């Protein structure tokens, strides 16, 4: 079975630097684009960041560019999202998504194969 396990969220103070993890199983890791979406009440779903595993190409939403860094560890089949300088508006449920044969543009348009369980990130001021 394909599993996308998001973890690392929690309650963090503004300015904090948590790292989210997306541990995958059941996929050929380097065939995939893997990204993070977030959803908060009253806001539309937002694509946060994405990495194309095969060439390590990355993409970021303008709202997080310069603050978040996405990376992958092939040995662990895991994608990380290192967040820094968190703001209250970063609050939301962060979901890991994955698509085989897709690029990050495809993920942003909703074209992906798997949607994992989210991890809640709450940023307090």
Tens digit of pLDDT at every position of the chain (125 positions):
999 999 999 999 999 999 999 999 999 999 999 999 999 989 999 999 999 999 999 999 999 999 999 999 999 999 999 999 999 999 999 999 999 988 899 998 989 999 999 999 999 99
Compute CA 92 distance to the chain's CA centroid, rounded to the nearest angstrom: 12
User: Please, which residues bridge with residue 78 across strands?
Assistant: 23, 73
Rounded-to-integer distance, Cα 86 and Cα 8, Å:
14
Rounded-to-integer distance, Cα 110 and Cα 8, Å:
24
The three-state secondary structure class of 12 is strand
């Amino acid at each position: 079975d394909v599993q996308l396990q998001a973890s690392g969220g929690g309650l963090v103070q503004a300015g904090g630097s948590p790292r989210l993890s997306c541990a995958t199983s059941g996929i050929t890791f380097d065939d995939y684009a893997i990204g993070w979406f977030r959803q908060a009440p009253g806001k539309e779903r937002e694509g946060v960041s994405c990495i194309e595993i095969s060439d390590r190409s990355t993409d970021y939403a303008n709202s997080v560019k310069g603050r978040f860094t996405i990376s992958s560890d092939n040995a662990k089949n895991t994608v990380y999202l290192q967040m820094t300088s968190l703001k209250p508006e970063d609050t939301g449920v962060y979901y890991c998504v994955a698509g085989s044969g897709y690029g990050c543009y495809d993920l942003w348009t909703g074209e992906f194969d798997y949607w994992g369980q989210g991890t809640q990130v709450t940023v307090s001021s």
